[in-house]
Amino acid sequence: MNDELPFSSKIDLWLLIVLMSAVALCLWAIGENWQGIVNGNWLLGLALIPGILVPLWLLGSLRYFLSDETLRIRCGPFKWRIPIREITAISPTRSPLSSPALSLDRLRIEYSQGRAIMISPEPREEFIRQLEFRRKQATA
């Protein structure tokens, strides 16, 4: 079983609204200032582009992948590889701290000498079942 199982992130509606509002606001600002951008104030347009691309990149790329040996997380430009054998605990949390998760319905994954990451895989119960199975296999 060397294939990776992909899981997407659960997405809270309020967070989706915030991210899409940021995109819409930047698009509106570009539209309102289009003449100025075209006539030389291109820095304004350039400054607004990340406000469009980054939320869309995060929404489109956030995935979790389970293999026999690794939990791999991809979120925009960020990537994590966590060896399954180093995972020491999995617990539910609603912590609002920054993490590669689009929901506050999260799992805290503790690993490798006190490190932790919070994720929000969907479907959650299947992810836990698959991860626990792999943890047992890694320690056997």
pLDDT averaged per 10 residues, the chain (length 140): 86 96 94 84 85 94 96 96 96 95 97 95 97 89
What pLDDT does residue 5 have? 96
CATH topology of domain 5-11+63-139: PH-domain like (2.30.29)
105: tokens are: 């319905």
Cα-Cα-Cα-Cα dihedral sign, residues 44, 46, 51, 52: positive
Q: Is 86 helix (H, G, I), strand (E, B) or coil?
A: helix
Strand-pair partners of 120:
none
What CA–CA distance (Å, rounded) separates 111 from 126?
Answer: 20
60: tokens are: 């489109």
Is pTM, for the whole model, over 0.85? yes
What pLDDT does residue 2 have? 56
H or E stretch covering 11: none
What pLDDT does residue 1 have? 45
* Local structure of residue 85 (DSSP, 8 states): G
